[in-house]
Amino acid sequence: MAGESVISEELNKLLNVEFGPEVYEIEKGMLKKFAEAIEDPNPRWLEEAPPTFPASLVPKELLNKLFNADIPLKRLLNGSSELEYFVPIKAGDVISVTAKLTRLRQVAGAEGPTLFMFTEMTYTNQRGEVAVKGKNTYIKY
């Protein structure tokens, strides 16, 4: 048994609400900085985004609400990430990120309740093409 619910009304109200778009101009310097941070020397990443670059296009409004929600679970971990690629993200693109919380699931963990928060993101370029779709699961425990 998961015990008492840690899922607050505040969190429940976020379900399936679309946040954004938050707009990111993809500058060459951002790509370079990201490639340097992951230490991937492939010169391709000077012009094009490496696979995990969408992690840096953060849907801040939704994540701030999820991470700062007033619930008894304070510790946070990333559970899983999933990306699907349609059109490469390149230097000069303007990417609009929308995000929503799609599911909340509470389970009984070894140290007490654990809350899984499932999110979905869409990254759309300046031509209106969906460049990338993402899913991420966050764990509060």
| Number of chain positions touching other proteins (CB under 8 A) | 28
Q: Which region, judged by CB under 8 A, interacts with other proteins, from 12-20, 76-84, 93-101, 120-128?
A: 76-84
Tell me the C-alpha distance between 33 and 103, whole Å: 33
87 binds other proteins (CB under 8 A): no
Per-residue buried b or exposed e for 65-103, using 16+ beta carbons within 10 Å of the residue's own CB: bbeebebebeeeeeeeeebeeeeebebebebbbbbbbee
Q: What are phi and psi of 39, to 5 degrees?
A: 55, 50
* Residue closer to other proteins (CB basis): 10 or 86: 86
From the CB of 9, what's the least distance to other proteins, in Å? 26
Q: Which residues pair with 126 in a beta bridge?
A: none
Q: Which region, judged by CB under 8 A, interacts with other proteins, from 1-9, 55-63, 95-103, 116-124?
A: 55-63
Could you say which residues in the range 100-129 bind other proteins, by CB under 8 A? none
The residues, any chain, with a CB within 8 Å of residue 26's CB and separated by 6 or more, are: 49, 89, 90, 91, 92, 93, 94, 95
In the list 9, 68, 75, 127, the residue contacting other proteins (rule: CB under 8 A) is 75
Q: Would you tell me which residues interact with other proteins (CB under 8 A)?
A: 30, 33-34, 36-40, 42, 44, 50-52, 55-56, 58, 75-85, 135
